[in-house]
Structure 1
Amino acid sequence: MPVLICSSEHTQLQRNEEVRCSNHDKTHTLVLSSDGMLSEQWATASAHCSKTRLVKELEDHHIVQVACGDQHAMALSRGGELFTWGQNAHGQLGVSRQTALIPKPQLVERLKGIPLAQIAAGGAHNVAVSLSGAVYSWGKNDFGQLGLGDTRDRGCPSYVKALEHWKTVFVSCGADHTAVLSKEGLVCTFGAGGSGQLGHNSTQNELVPRLVAELWGARVSQIACGRQHTLVYVPSLDKVFSFGSDEEGHLEDKRKPNQLIPLPIDSPVNTGKSHQENNTSQKVIEITAGGNRSIVLCKKNKNSCLNGIATLKDEDVDAWISSSSTQDWESLKKNIGLIFSSEACINGSFLAKRDKHFKTSKEVSGVDMAEVQHFYEKVSKVPKVFGEVLKGILKLQPSLSSSPISPENFRVYLILPFLLQGEFNTSYALRRVAQTITKLQPHNLRTLECLWSNLETSFFKQLVILYQRVSQMILSDFLKDVRRWLGSLYHLDPRQTVTLQMLQILYQVNSRTGTRVKENNFYVPEVKEIICMCHFVDIRGTALWMLSRYPCIFDIQGKIMIPLIVATMKLWRFPVKRQCLLQDIWTHLNKASTQQFKNLLQEMPL
C-alpha cells in the first residue's frame, strides 16, 4: 500500500484534493489546488478573517509540492523548478542574496537540473531529496540541522556528503532538527537534540546524520517531525513510535517531558482497538507532526497516488505514439514539451533499474543508456512525436547548467546526444550540446569524462561516431563555400570547430581507457582536401592551422603531412657570402632570437 506522509512543514499534492500547508503558528497558509494553482493566506488580527491572494508569479508553473517554514515558503513545480520566498535572514531561500526579505517567489538556481523527489522546511532551514536519494540542505544551521558537520549557515543548497548512497527516500524537518528515511527503512537524525527529538538517548546536538540505533531492524515506512519531537511508523508492528518534547501533551501519552528514545505512543492505533471494522483491515496511512501536535490517521486500505515532477514513463511513450493523430494530441504535446525542455525532468528519466541509480556518483551516472536508445528508436519512427521532442531539447539548450553541483546534473549530457542521432535536423542541436560541454569548468569536465569512460564500449563508440559525423557535415559545408568563393580558407568559425574539440576530448578519454574505440573512428576525411588546398600557402591563420589543434581527426598520412607543411612555413633563411662563410654564419647566429632556433635552417648563398 503506497504511504503518504505530510506535515505542516511538508505537503505533497494528492490527486483531486486541495492541499493546505501552514507555518507553526498558522499565520501563513499555502493552499494548493488539484490543478497546480497556488494561493496563500495570512491571518489577520481577527481570528476569523484572513487575506488570500493567488501567487500569480507561479500561475504558469504547475505546482506539485509546497512547504512552509516559520517565515518562508517553498514550491516545487512539475517541471522540476524549486521556488522560495519570505524571510531570508539565515539564507533559507537558497538564492545567495543578503536581502532579509524577498516577498515574491524566486527560482533556486543552485538546484536547477536536480530531479527533486521531495522538499521539506524547518523553522529556518530546508532539505530536499532527489529521485536518486541525494540530499541537499541550506539555511539556518546553529544546531547542525543541515547535517554538514558544522554550525555555519548556508545561503545556497549544499550536498550532504554524509548521506551519499544512503538511498534516502524521505526527509522531514522540525524547528531545528532533521530526520531522514532510507529505502531500507532506516532512520537517521541530526540537529538540535535538547528535547530528545533525535532519539539517541541523549540531549546532545548532532552535526552530522546519525542512525537512530533503537530503530535498527524495525524497517520504518514513515517519519514526521514536529517542532521538537519526531514520529516514526513501523508497519510490521502497526505501531507509531515517538521521541522528543511532550510539554504540551502532543504525544497523547503520559511520559517524561523529554522522551530520549523511540517508544510506542498510547493511541487506539497502538492498542489495536480501532483496527477492525466490519472485518475490513484499517492501517495507519498517514502520520502528521506539526508544531506541537501529532496526528495518526487510520483509514481503510486504498491507494494514494502522489504527484511529483514530470518524468518519462513507458506508458507515456506508448500514449504519445498511439495518440499522435487524435484529439488528445494537444495535451500530450504539452507533456512532451514539459519533459524535454526541463533539465531536471530529463535527469529524472531513464533511471537505472533495480535501485542502481541510488549509486549515482562521479563514476556512476545512474542512467540506463539502453532505455535511452530504446526510446529514441521508438519515437524516431513517428516524426510528429520526435519533432516535439526535438523542439523541447532546442528550447532547453540555452539554459543548460554550466555549474553542476551534483553527478545527477551530468546525466543530461549523456542522454541528449543519443536523442539526437538522426542525420537530419539534429546537427545544430548536437553542436549546441558540444558548446555547453566545452564551456564546463575543468573539474566538471573531468567528472563528465569519468562518466564517459565508464560507458559501455558500444555506447561510447556510438557517441564518437555521432560527433565524427557532425564534424564531417560541418567541414563538408565549409569546403563547398570555399569552392564557390563564398568562404575563405582563412575563416573557420569557432562554432564550426566545437564538435572537433569534442572529438579530441573523447579521443583523450579513449586513450586513457585502453583505446576501446579504434582511431579511424575519429578521422574526418574532409581534412585531406583542406591539406591539399593549403599546401602552397602560408597556413598560419588558415583552416588547416586551426584544425591542427585536433590531431585525432587526421589519418596517419595527414599526421605526417602537417609537420612538413608547417616546417616549410617556418624556414630560417640564412644569407651568406661564399668568401665570408664563417663570419656571416657567426653574425647571424649572434643576432638571432631564441625562437628562431626552433625553425629549419635554409642556407642562401649570395
Structure 2
Amino acid sequence: KPPLLYKPTNPSNDAVSLQLLSWGRGSSGQLGSGTEQTRIYPTPVASLIVPPSFRLPLSPGSLSPPLPEKSGVEVGISCGLFHSAVLIDGQFWVWGKGDGGRLGLGHEDSVFVPTLNPHLSGVKGLALGGLHSVALTSLGQIFTWGYGGFGALGHSVFTRELIPKLVEGPWTEKIKHISTSGTHTAAVSESGEIYTWGREEGDGRLGRGPGRGPDQTGGLSVPGKVKGMPVPAAAVACGGFFTMALTEEGKLWCWGANFNYELGTGDKVGSWKPRLNSSLEDMRVVQIACGGYHSLALTEGGKVLSWGHGGHGQLGHASIQNQKVPTMIEALADECVISIACGGSASAAVTATGKLFMWGNAKDSQLGVPGLPEINPSPVEVNFLMEDDGLGPHNVLSVAVGASHALCLVSRSSCTE
C-alpha cells in the first residue's frame, strides 16, 4: 500500500483523497516505488488526504488564473531527467538519482521512495532539471542545488551544492515564476522582467545579448536580465536549447536554437533576441511547455498546438514530420484541455474531465499505455487499473514528464477517514 505523505491534523468529513502515480523507467529510483523496475502503466507511489480547498500551484509556463488565488494546501509535482518531487503545503518530497546532489538531501545517493527534504520550507514552486533542481519560495526567493557545471545553479561558482542554496541575482523585487531545462534556468520577476543563467553555447538560449558565449564554466553562472524583451513577461518555459515567454495577453515570444523549428517561426534562424510568434497572434495562449526540441501551446479555448522536432511522434500529428509553425493537434480537437506537459521527447495533456492523453517516445513505457510502438505519434488515453481500495475513479489533476518516466496526481472519491 502506498505511504500516506500528508494528512490534515483534523481531517473533515469532506476531505479529498489524492494519489500520486508513476510509470516508465525506474532504474534510478525516479518512480519512487522502492525498486528499479520499469512500470508499464501508472502505479500508486503515495497517497495524500487534503482539505477540499486544496489547489494546484502554477505550473512552469502557465499564466495565473484571472481570479485571485484562494488559500489552501498546495499540491504540485515535477519530474527532472531522472528524479522526481511532490510539493505539499510548502514542503517537498524527492526521490530518484542522487548524483551531483540534485535531490538536495545533503548527499549524492539515489533514493527509491519519496523522502522529505528537511532543508527548505515555504516552497511554492519546484522545477527539476538535469543534474540540478530549482525551488521558488512564498517569499519570492529562488533556491538551487545539485551539480553546478555550466553555471546551472546561478551561484557564480560551479561547485555542486548538496542542499538548497539561495540564488542572489540582480533583481530588486520578488520572483513570481521559474522554469528550468537540463542545464539552464529562467525566472520572472513581479514586474515581468526575465532573468536567465546556465549553459550557453552561443545559441542564444539565455537571451542575454549578441556574442554572449559561455564563460569559463561553460555557461553564464550569474543570473542576468534577458535583453530585447519589449513587453513584460508573465511566464517562461525552458527547452533543450531555447526559451519561451508568455505575456499576460497570451502572446508568445521565443529565442535560442532553431535547427528543428523549435521557435515555431517558420524558419531555422536562431536568435538571442526574443521574437514574437506571429502565427499565434489571433489566439490567447495560456500555457507553454517545452521538450528537448519541441514545444506545445495551450489556448484559452482548450486547444493544443505543437511544433518543432517530430521524430519520436512528440507533436501528436500522426506523423514524425517536423512542424515549422504551431499546428493544432487534431486528435485532441474534441477535448477541452486544461494543462500540458513535455518531457524530452514525449508530450501529455490533461482534460477538463480528468482524462490524461500522452504521445511521443514510448521506448521506456513513459506513455503509461502497454503495448505501444516505440514511436507513438497519436495521442492515446492513459487508463488506470482499478484497485480494490474502495475509492472512486481516477480524476487526473496534473501530469509531469521526465526523460523516461512520468508522474500524475489524481483525485479519487472523497474519503471519510
What letter matches 1:123 in structure 2? G
1:172-226: per-residue Cα shift (whole Å, max 9, x none)? 0000000000011111100000000000111110110111011112111111001
Map of 1:1-400 to 2, 5 A cutoff?
4-5=58-59, 7-8=78-79, 16=90, 17-18=122-123, 19-23=125-129, 25=130, 27-43=131-147, 50=162, 52-58=164-170, 60-89=172-201, 90-101=203-214, 102-114=220-232, 116-236=233-353, 238-254=354-370, 255-268=372-385, 277=391, 283-299=395-411
Structure 1 length-normalised TM:
0.44
1:442-521 superposed matches below 5 A: none
Give 1:2 shift: 6.9
Per-residue deviation, 1:44: 8.0
Give the whole-Å Cα distance in 2 for the aligned partners of 1:231 and 1:161: 25
Return the letter of the residue paired with 1:35. Answer: L
The RMSD of aligned alpha carbons is: 2.9
Equivalent residues of 1:135, 1:168 under 8 A apart: yes
The 5-angstrom pairing of residues 562-573 of structure 1 reads none
1:545 is aligned to none
Q: Do the aligned residues in 1 keep the contact of 2:79 with 2:407 (CA within 8 Å)?
A: no
Counterparts of residues 581-596 of structure 1 (less than 5 Å): none
Shift of residue 53, structure 1, vs aligned partner: 3.3
Moved more, 288-297 or 157-166: 288-297
Kept in 1: contact 2:355–2:395 (CA 8 A): no
For 2:407, give the aligned amino acid.
Answer: I
1:325-379 Cα shifts (integer Å, max 9, x gaps): xxxxxxxxxxxxxxxxxxxxxxxxxxxxxxxxxxxxxxxxxxxxxxxxxxxxxxx
8 Å Cα contact 1:5/1:224 also seen in 2: no
- Structure with greater helix percent: 1
Cα separation, 2, equivalents of 1:15 and 1:63: 19
Match of 2:156 in 1: none
SS in 1 for 2:331: helix
Deviation at 1:136, TM superposition (A): 0.6
Runs of 4+ with >6 A deviation? none
Conservation of the 8 A alpha-carbon contact between 1:69 and 1:125: no
Percent identical residues:
25
In 1, distance between residues paired with 2:221 and 2:255? Answer: 19
CA change 1:260–1:113 in 2 (3 A) is closer
- For normalisation by structure 2, the TM-score amounts to 0.63
- Larger RCO, structure (CA 8 Å, separation 6 or more): 2
Q: Where does residue 421 of structure 1 map in the other structure?
A: none
Count the aligned residue pairs.
Answer: 289
Amino acid at match of 1:104: V
Q: Quick one: structure 1 residues 253 and 283, their matched pair in 2 at CA, closer, same or farther if it must change by over 3 Å? A: closer
- For residues 89-143 of structure 1, the C-alpha deviation after alignment (integer angstroms, 9 at most, x for no partner) is 21001122312222111111322532x2321111111111111110011111110
Q: Distance in 1 between matches of 2:389 and 2:297?
A: 28
2: distance between equivalents of 1:100 and 1:227? 24
Match of 1:152, SS? Answer: coil
Equivalent pair of 1:5/1:286 in contact (CA under 8 Å)? no
Q: For the structure 1 residues 118 and 14, does the alpha-carbon distance in structure 2 shift closer, same or farther, using more than 3 Å as the test?
A: farther
Counterpart residue number, 2:19: none
CA distance in 2, matches of 1:49, 1:98: 29
Q: Deviations over 1:352-411 (max 9, x none)?
A: xxxxxxxxxxxxxxxxxxxxxxxxxxxxxxxxxxxxxxxxxxxxxxxxxxxxxxxxxxxx
Q: CA 1:214/1:274 → structure 2, altered by over 3 Å: closer, same or farther?
A: farther
CA shift digits 1:423-460 (9 cap, x unpaired): xxxxxxxxxxxxxxxxxxxxxxxxxxxxxxxxxxxxxx
Instruction: Judge conservation of contact 1:21–1:67 (CA < 8 Å) in 2.
Output: yes
Find the counterpart in structure 2 of residue 571 from structure 1.
none
Residue 275 of structure 1: how far off its partner (Å): 10
1:44/1:123 Cα in 2 relative to 1: closer, same or farther (>3 Å)?
Answer: closer
The answer for the alignment partner of 2:22 in structure 1 is none
User: For residues 44 and 149 of structure 1, what CA distance do their matches in structure 2 show?
Assistant: 35
Structure with the larger strand share: 2
Q: 1:49 to 1:135 in 2, by over 3 A?
A: closer
Change beyond 3 A, Cα 1:119–1:15: farther
Q: Which amino acid letter does the alignment assign opposite residue 144 of structure 2?
A: E
How many angstroms does 1:163 deviate by?
0.5
CA contact (8 A) 1:275 1:283 kept: no
The alpha carbon displacement at 1:273 in A equals 5.5
Seen in structure 2, the aligned counterparts of structure 1 residues 292 and 274 have a Cα distance that, compared at 3 Å, is farther
TM-superposition CA deviations, 1:135-163 (whole Å, max 9, x none):
01111111001000011211111000000
Structure 1 unpaired stretches of 5+: 303-606
Contact 2:188/2:234, CA 8 A, preserved across alignment: no
Structure-2 change in CA distance of 1:91 and 1:159 (3 Å): same
1:534-545 equivalences in 2 (<5 Å): none
Judging changes above 3 Å, is the alpha-carbon distance between structure 1 residues 40 and 184 closer, same or farther for their aligned structure 2 residues?
same
Partner of 2:96: none
SS at match of 2:234: strand
The question of whether the paired residues in 1 share the 8 Å contact of 2:145 and 2:161 is answered with no
* SS of equivalent to 2:182: coil
Distance 2:305 2:225 in 1: 29
